[in-house]
């Protein structure tokens, strides 16, 4: 575990669609005390929220259970959040994958990858954008693991921190609005750089607690 004065209390939301073990272990290695929960009351009461990348947009929307506005309000009020793959997509308004509305914290839509082979499975470069963002501290060049068929299109490019290219399709690899970040790749499967990114997120949460 990373050396901290105390663990960071993090809620890892469970959509009920997969194994969250590796992500929980990655967060714990960065210095978090992780609570896996299906209850929004519990999730929004922690120091930070992590939306994992397991499942489909439709299943995740179902797990929101009408709480979209409540979650959005918590993010507007400054609750630190990291959305991973599907979790990043859930931060947006809608998706081509399924009916239903996401949290709508980052304006934009989710669309299918425009490439011959879908899904994208494997390693890909995260290309420099706003790589001076603290989420990428110590990671000037990063290769990350992807497993996705859909990507996010923010309505404003200012939300995009970094991009990746698959085939001829260039898409947002990372986004940020306020204290909320999203990454399209899986840091928990991206070796040491991915674990560094999770630790960087926790560093930011810890710093925000002292503001």
What's the pLDDT score for residue 202?
98
Task: Please tell us whether the domain made up of 8-209 is placed in CATH 3.30.565.10.
Answer: no
Query: Is residue 199 flagged as an active site residue?
Result: no
Domain map (residue ranges) of the chain: 8-209
Residues in the chain: 211
54-108 pLDDT per residue, tens? 889 999 999 998 999 999 999 999 999 999 999 999 999 999 999 999 999 999 9
Strand 8-13 to strand 32-37: parallel, antiparallel, or no bridges (unpaired)? parallel
Catalytic residue from among 47, 68, 186, 204: 186
- The catalytic residue among 47, 68, 97, 188 is 188
The per-residue pLDDT for 129 is 74
Q: How many CB atoms lie within 10 A of CB 39?
A: 13
| 168 is an active site residue | no
Mean pLDDT of 195-202: 97
Which of 81, 85, 152, 180 is labelled catalytic?
A: 85
Smallest Cα–Cα separation from 175: which of 163, 187, 188?
163
Q: Does 180 participate in catalysis according to the annotation?
A: no
**Measured in Å, how far apart are the chain's first and last C-alpha atoms?**
24
Rounded to whole angstroms, what are the CA distances from 74 to 13, 23, 39?
15, 23, 15
Give the pair of three-digit tokens for residue 180: 């909320």
């Amino acid at each position: 575990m990373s050396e901290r004065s105390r663990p960071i209390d993090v809620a890892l939301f469970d959509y009920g669609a997969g194994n969250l073990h590796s992500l929980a272990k990655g967060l714990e290695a960065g210095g978090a005390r992780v609570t896996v929960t299906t209850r929004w009351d519990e999730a929004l009461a922690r120091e930070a929220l992590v939306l994992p990348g397991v499942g489909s947009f439709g299943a995740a929307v179902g797990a929101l259970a009408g709480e979209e506005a409540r979650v959005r309000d918590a993010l507007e009020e400054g609750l630190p959040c990291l959305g991973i793959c599907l979790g990043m997509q859930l931060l947006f308004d809608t998706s081509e994958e399924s009916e239903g509305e996401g949290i709508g914290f980052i304006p934009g839509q989710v669309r299918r990858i425009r490439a011959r082979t879908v899904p994208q499975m494997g390693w890909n470069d995260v290309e420099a954008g706003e790589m001076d963002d603290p989420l990428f501290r110590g990671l000037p060049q990063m290769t990350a693991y992807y497993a996705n068929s859909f990507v996010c299109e923010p309505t404003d490019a200012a939300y995009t921190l970094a991009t990746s290219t698959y085939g001829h399709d260039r898409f947002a690899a990372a986004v940020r609005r306020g204290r909320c970040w999203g990454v399209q790749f899986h840091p928990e499967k991206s070796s040491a750089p991915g674990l560094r990114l999770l630790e960087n997120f926790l560093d930011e949460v810890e710093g925000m607690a002292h503001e």
